[in-house]
């Protein structure tokens, strides 16, 4: 009798556990699979803010230009890296507070390079400025560093300046 009661309790426990809904055994839908693989394959882009005042070599008498915008940075790969920079910014003369149509930069660049642990790679990107007819361009310099421990990679903005064709480089004078 004791064996029958134990056997009956064991069968009841197996029946109760077997009838529970186990969601981890349910099949994955195509939509769930696509969203999970998309989040794995596309890293969240970094945003570098562009804000400051630069000497404008395209305008006489030491004029200054304000910049406001951002660079969206996407860096993939470990030793062989792909770097995509999407720059979007507005520029306007610092002397004029109410300019109707500020100048703009909207451009994307891509680079492939080798980056080993403990090394850095420097880039300088040149962007044309829409609305300017004097050939002045926006220059942004970046430093990509891969640290020795943990394979951490960092993209930094190391400089920004305006340059006119045939004139020397003018550096940023203030940033926020």
Predicted confidence pLDDT, tens digits, the chain (176 residues): 777 765 666 556 555 655 555 544 444 454 554 444 444 445 567 999 999 999 988 777 778 899 999 999 999 988 899 999 999 999 988 876 666 668 999 999 999 999 999 999 999 999 999 988 888 999 999 999 999 887 788 999 999 999 987 555 545 444 44
For the entire predicted model, the pTM comes to 0.68
pLDDT value at residue 162: 93
pLDDT value at residue 24: 44
Number of neighbouring beta carbons within 10 Å of residue 25: 6
- Distance from the Cα of residue 10 to its chain's centroid: 57
Within 13 Å, how many C-alpha atoms sit on residue 156's CB side?
A: 10
Within 13 Å, how many C-alpha atoms sit on residue 149's CB side?
A: 0
pLDDT value at residue 174: 46
Q: Which residues contact 64 (CB under 8 A, 6 or more apart)?
A: 53, 54, 55, 56, 93, 94, 95, 173
pLDDT value at residue 140: 95
């Amino acid at each position: 009798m004791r064996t029958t009661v134990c056997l009956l309790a064991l069968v009841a426990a197996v029946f109760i556990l077997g009838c529970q809904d186990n969601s981890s055994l349910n099949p994955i839908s195509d939509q769930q699979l696509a969203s999970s693989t998309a989040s794995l394959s596309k890293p969240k882009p970094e945003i570098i803010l562009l804000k400051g005042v630069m000497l404008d070599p395209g305008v006489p008498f030491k004029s200054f230009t304000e910049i406001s915008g951002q660079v969206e940075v996407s860096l993939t790969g470990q030793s062989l890296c792909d770097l995509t920079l999407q720059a979007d910014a507005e520029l306007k003369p610092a002397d004029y507070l109410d300019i109707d149509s500020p100048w703009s930069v909207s451009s994307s660049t891509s680079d492939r390079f080798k980056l080993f642990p403990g090394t850095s790679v420097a880039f300088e990107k040149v962007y044309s400025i829409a609305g300017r007819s004097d050939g002045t361009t926006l220059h942004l310099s970046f430093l990509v560093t891969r640290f020795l421990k943990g394979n951490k990679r960092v993209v930094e903005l190391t400089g920004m300046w305006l340059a006119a064709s045939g004139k020397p480089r003018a550096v940023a004078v203030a940033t926020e």
